[in-house]
Amino acid sequence: MAKGHRSQIKRERNANKDVRPSAKLSYARVSVQKACFVLDAIRGKDVETALGILEYNPRYASSIIKKLLESAVANAEYKYSQDPTKYPNPENLYVAECYANKGPTMKRIQPRAQGRAYRIEKRMSHITIVLDAR
């Protein structure tokens, strides 16, 4: 068990909090595997290159991730407008981290031959993008 008062424990936990601008989409109706194909293509790229990749990627997940990346860029602009001394050039932003975690699965039934029922699993994911300045 942790030592100290509850407020001290919270203070220590918040001191380790990640302060990089980010955006998170919960309950995206795309499976983790399909989202990771697109996320792997933009990981480590600068924002302009990543947006270009997402614009011309034919996968469905790319449209979702493109909107999420634009949201992360807007969050970065807002965050750095609050403290102009730390404002990096927007061209220096790059995708530091991007990952998809498993979300809940909707279970549906598909009727099959001879009275059988097959289960259809409609998977969801939680997608996160973290930006950083070079």
Amino acid at 54: L
| Helices and strands of the chain, counted as H and E runs | 4, 3
Tell me the pLDDT band of 87, cut-offs 50, 70 and 90: low
Q: Are 73 and 93 in contact (CB under 8 A)?
A: yes
Question: Quick check: 29 pLDDT over 60?
Answer: yes
Burial class, 41, CB count within 10 angstroms (exposed 0-12 / middle 13-18 / buried 19+): middle
> What spatial distance separates the first Cα and last Cα of the chain, rounded to whole Å?
39
Question: What is the predicted pLDDT for the residue at 32?
Answer: 96
Higher pLDDT, 87 or 65: 65
- CA-only gyration radius of the chain, Å: 20
Rounded mean pLDDT of 21-27?
Answer: 94
Nearest CA-CA partner of 38 in 7, 14, 69: 69
> Using CA atoms, how far apart are residues 104 and 5, in angstroms rounded to an integer?
35
- Give percent of the chain with pLDDT exceeding 90: 68
Mean pLDDT of the chain: 90
User: For the chain, where are the alpha helices, taking DSSP H only?
Assistant: 6-15, 32-42, 47-55, 60-82
- pLDDT exceeds cutoff 60 at 90: yes
Question: If DSSP codes are grouped into helix, strand and coil, which group holds residue 76?
Answer: helix
- pLDDT given at position 12: 83
By the 8 A CB rule, do 114 and 90 touch? no
21-133: CATH topology: Ribosomal Protein L22; Chain A (3.90.470)
Q: Tell me what pLDDT residue 40 has.
A: 95
State what percent of residues in the chain have pLDDT above 70: 93
Q: Whole-prediction pTM value?
A: 0.83
